[in-house]
Amino acid sequence: MKKAVILLNMGGADNLDQVEVFLKNMFRDKYILGIKNDFLRKFVAFLITKMRKNSAIKNYQKLGGKSPILDITKSLINKLNSLESEIIFDYAMNYTPPFCDEVLAKFVKFDEIVLLPLYPHYSQTTIKSSLEAALKSANKLQIQDKIKIIKPFYDDQIYNQIIVQNITNAVSGQNVSDIDLVFSAHSLPVSIINKGDPYEKHTNAQVEILREKLSILGFKSVSLAYQSRLGPVKWLCPNIAEVLPNLQSKKALIYPISFCIDNSETDFELAIFYKELAMECGFEYYKVVKAPNDSDEFARFLLNLVKFTAFGQ
């Protein structure tokens, strides 16, 4: 029996020419820009892309001209395929290549295909959007009956232990009693949450799990803040830009709780943009912990997650 697992993620520009592609596709997404009329949404997406393109390119230039998400994902896929010979792992992105159409087309003759969104928490803006794109492609290829889906894993004990270990390693040799640990989550408009999106609930639940696990380390405080706010509507708060200046310790360890793979929002927004803010506020210590990425532990976690929940091994 031939089995495939497709990791799903948002994507990111692999070169500066893809910055416009990423922005355009993201803002055309009905779950990101909640305009029901397709024509109007595409027009507004065009305007936003035009306004944000140049500044986004400058941000990517500070990252070496590309998002880290694709290289890390490829490395993770290679590691997964080296660990397991009976399952083929691949990946598809939502806003930049490779897209679901071309990826799923490689597996039409397979018996089982598992879709694994690399988002720990459920949101219509992430998991629902990615799955909808993948299932649309599966229907075109008439392989929808072969599809299985992995549920969000924000509360998985093994996954959370990986995060705990990464945080522990990041502060090795430090006196953490005067360091504030801030979990930074991608923000969402409150209107989306009010319509029943469970993202905030899932995020809060994971922070509480991690708070308990990390209590033995003795951080000065453990809190949740939000990043990536855009536009004039009300967003989930507090925003990290408001939290940092109020940390009296002037020492912060940041963990990007919304992401399994580092991307421009971790490596630029958190590690560069907000670090500059922290330095302006007189911080003595500011560090961003890496996401699980392509670590051996995360690869084994994903492999076991697939085996036990999708293939029943």
What integer pLDDT is reported at residue 309 of this predicted model?
86
What integer pLDDT is reported at residue 232 of this predicted model?
78
What integer pLDDT is reported at residue 229 of this predicted model?
84
What integer pLDDT is reported at residue 313 of this predicted model?
52
Q: How far apart are the C-alpha atoms of 9 and 174, rounded to whole Å?
A: 34
Longest dimension (CA), the chain: 59
Dihedral angle computed from the Cα positions of residues 57, 255, 79 and 123, in that order, rounded to the nearest 10 degrees: -80
Q: How far apart are the C-alpha atoms of 228 and 39, rounded to whole Å?
A: 26
Contact of 132 with 138, CB cutoff 8 Å: no
What integer pLDDT is reported at residue 54 of this predicted model?
96
Q: Which residues in the chain land under pLDDT 50?
A: none
The strands making up 180-186's β-sheet, listed across from edge to edge, are: 221-227, 180-186, 251-256, 285-288
Q: How far apart are the C-alpha atoms of 129 and 111, rounded to whole Å?
A: 25
Q: What angle do CA 115, 93, 182 make, to 5 degrees?
A: 90
Cα dist. 143→103, 136, 139, 198, 218 in Å?
Answer: 13, 10, 6, 29, 51
What integer pLDDT is reported at residue 312 of this predicted model?
59
Contact of 147 with 197, CB cutoff 8 Å: no
Contact of 122 with 129, CB cutoff 8 Å: no
